Structure 1
Amino acid sequence: MVSSSTASSTRSQTPDDKHKLFFDYADKTQEALSTFTELKKCSYASKELGNSNSHDFIECDCYEEFQDGVNHACGEDSDCINRLTLIECVNDLCGSCGNDCRNQRFQKREYADIAVFQTQKKGYGVRAQKDIEAHEFIYEYIGEVIAEDEFRDRMIDYDHRGLKHFYFMMLQTGEFIDATVKGSLARFCNHSCNPNAYVNKWAVAGKLRMGIFANRKILKGEEITFDYNVDRYGATAQPCYCDEPNCLGFLGGKTQTDAASLLPQNYADALGVRPSIEKKWIKLMKANGEKILKSEVNNINVEFVKSLDLSPCESLDDVSKVMSVLLQADDNLIIRRLMERILLTKDQTMHYQIIKLHGYRCFNKLLGIFEDDSEIQLEILEYLNCLPKTTKNGIISSQIDKKVEELKEKPELTQVSDELLAKWRSFETYKRITKKDISESSHKKMDLRRLRLPPGWEIIHENGKPVYYNAQQQTKLHHPPNGVTKTFGGSQPSRPSTPLDSPSNGAISSKKRPLDAEEYEKKKKQRIEFQRKELERLKNEELQQLKDKLELEDQKKTELEKIIAEANQQKELEKQQKFKEQQEEEQKRQKKLQQSKGDYMLHKWNRFFAGFVPNLVRHYEKDLGKDHIKECARDIVKTLSSKELKKDPKKSPPPEPSKEKKAKVREFTKVYMEKFSQKYAQRKKK
Structure 2
Amino acid sequence: MGAALWRWGRGAGMAELSGGSEAVAVALWPPGEAPPAFQYSPESVAGADGELDPTEVTFPGCSCRSSSCEAPACPCLSRGHSYSSLRLRLAEQQQQPFSRPVFECNSLCCCGEGCQNRLVQRGLRLRLQVFRTQRKGWGVRALEPVPAGSFVCEYAGEVLGFAEAQRRIQAQSPQQPNYIIAVREHLHDGRVMETFVDPTRVGNVGRFLNHSCEPNLFMVPVRVDSMVPKLALFAAADISAGEELSYDYSGRFRNSPGASREHKPLEEENSLRKPCYCGSRTCASFLPWDSSLFSTPASSPQTFSLKHT
- TM-score normalised by structure 2 residue count: 0.61
Which residue number in structure 2 is paired with residue 27 of structure 1?
Answer: 29
RMSD across aligned positions (CA): 3.7
Q: Unpaired runs of 5+ in structure 1?
A: 1-25, 66-72, 258-262, 271-321, 323-686
CA contact (8 A) 2:147 2:239 kept: yes
Letter in 2 for 1:201: P
Report the Cα distance in structure 1 between the residues aligned to 2:305 and 2:171, rounded to whole angstroms: 30
Alignment of 1:86-165 (within 5 A): 86-91=102-107, 93-95=108-110, 97-159=111-173, 163-165=175-177
2:204 counterpart of 1:189:
no
Shift, 1:249, TM fit: 1.2
2:241 counterpart of 1:220:
yes
SS in 1 for 2:218: strand
Which residue number in structure 1 is paired with residue 229 of structure 2?
Answer: 208
Shift, 1:163, TM fit: 4.7
Q: Deviations over 1:311-344 (max 9, x none)?
A: xxxxxxxxxxx3xxxxxxxxxxxxxxxxxxxxxx
Cα–Cα, structure 1 residues 101 and 120, in superposed 2: closer, same or farther, change >3 Å? Answer: same
Report the Cα distance in structure 2 between the residues aligned to 1:39 and 1:30, rounded to whole angstroms: 23
Cα–Cα, structure 1 residues 205 and 64, in superposed 2: closer, same or farther, change >3 Å? Answer: same
SS in 1 for 2:240: coil
Report the Cα distance in structure 1 between the residues aligned to 2:32 and 2:250, rounded to whole angstroms: 29
Q: Deviations over 1:459-500 (max 9, x none)?
A: xxxxxxxxxxxxxxxxxxxxxxxxxxxxxxxxxxxxxxxxxx
Letter in 1 for 2:236: N
Which residue number in structure 1 is paired with residue 39 of structure 2?
Answer: 37
Which residue number in structure 1 is paired with residue 86 of structure 2?
Answer: none
Cα–Cα, structure 1 residues 237 and 43, in superposed 2: closer, same or farther, change >3 Å? Answer: same
Alignment of 1:398-477 (within 5 A): none
Q: Deviations over 1:95-152 (max 9, x none)?
A: 2x23442322333214322101111112011101111111111111111111222222
The structure whose residues are more often helix, as a share, is 1
Q: Deviations over 1:266-319 (max 9, x none)?
A: 41xx4xxxxxxxxxxxxxxxxxxxxxxxxxxxxxxxxxxxxxxxxxxxxxxxxx
Letter in 2 for 1:81: S
The structure whose residues are more often strand, as a share, is 2
CA contact (8 A) 1:60 1:81 kept: no
Cα–Cα, structure 1 residues 30 and 44, in superposed 2: closer, same or farther, change >3 Å? Answer: farther
Pick from 222, 230, 242 the counterpart of residue 278 of structure 2.
242
Q: Deviations over 1:409-441 (max 9, x none)?
A: xxxxxxxxxxxxxxxxxxxxxxxxxxxxxxxxx
Shift, 1:81, TM fit: 3.4
Identical residues among aligned pairs (%)? 30
Tell me how many residue pairs correspond in the alignment: 224
Report the Cα distance in structure 1 between the residues aligned to 2:118 and 2:200, rounded to whole angstroms: 27
2:78 counterpart of 1:81:
yes
Shift, 1:75, TM fit: 8.4
- TM-score normalised by structure 1 residue count: 0.29
Report the Cα distance in structure 2 between the residues aligned to 1:189 and 1:135, rounded to whole angstroms: 18
CA contact (8 A) 2:69 2:116 kept: yes
Letter in 1 for 2:138: Y
SS in 1 for 2:172: helix
SS in 2 for 1:127: strand
Cα–Cα, structure 1 residues 110 and 188, in superposed 2: closer, same or farther, change >3 Å? Answer: closer
Which residue number in structure 1 is paired with residue 90 of structure 2?
Answer: none
Cα–Cα, structure 1 residues 188 and 75, in superposed 2: closer, same or farther, change >3 Å? Answer: farther
Report the Cα distance in structure 1 between the residues aligned to 2:166 and 2:231, rounded to whole angstroms: 21
Report the Cα distance in structure 2 between the residues aligned to 1:88 and 1:188, rounded to whole angstroms: 26
Report the Cα distance in structure 2 between the residues aligned to 1:266 and 1:58, rounded to whole angstroms: 25
Alignment of 1:61-80 (within 5 A): 63-65=65-67, 73-74=68-69, 80=77
SS in 2 for 1:221: coil
Shift, 1:184, TM fit: 0.8
SS in 2 for 1:239: coil
The 10-residue stretch of structure 1 (239-248 or 32-41) with the greater mean CA deviation from structure 2: 32-41
Report the Cα distance in structure 2 between the residues aligned to 1:131 and 1:75, rounded to whole angstroms: 28
Q: Unpaired runs of 5+ in structure 2?
A: 1-27, 83-100, 185-192, 252-261, 291-296, 298-302
Cα–Cα, structure 1 residues 150 and 265, in superposed 2: closer, same or farther, change >3 Å? Answer: closer
CA contact (8 A) 2:131 2:139 kept: yes
Cα–Cα, structure 1 residues 32 and 196, in superposed 2: closer, same or farther, change >3 Å? Answer: same
Shift, 1:59, TM fit: 4.0
CA contact (8 A) 2:180 2:196 kept: yes
Letter in 2 for 1:165: P
Greater relative contact order (Cα 8 A, min sep 6): structure 1 or 2? 2
CA contact (8 A) 1:139 1:186 kept: yes
CA contact (8 A) 1:29 1:115 kept: no
Cα–Cα, structure 1 residues 236 and 50, in superposed 2: closer, same or farther, change >3 Å? Answer: farther
SS in 2 for 1:176: strand
Alignment of 1:267-666 (within 5 A): 267=307, 270=308, 322=309
Q: Which has the larger radius of gyration?
A: 1
Pick from 246, 250, 267 the counterpart of residue 229 of structure 1.
250
Cα–Cα, structure 1 residues 40 and 61, in superposed 2: closer, same or farther, change >3 Å? Answer: same
CA contact (8 A) 2:220 2:234 kept: yes
Pick from 182, 187, 200 the counterpart of residue 170 of structure 1.
182
Q: Deviations over 1:608-638 (max 9, x none)?
A: xxxxxxxxxxxxxxxxxxxxxxxxxxxxxxx
Report the Cα distance in structure 1 between the residues aligned to 2:176 and 2:58, rounded to whole angstroms: 41
CA contact (8 A) 1:125 1:190 kept: yes
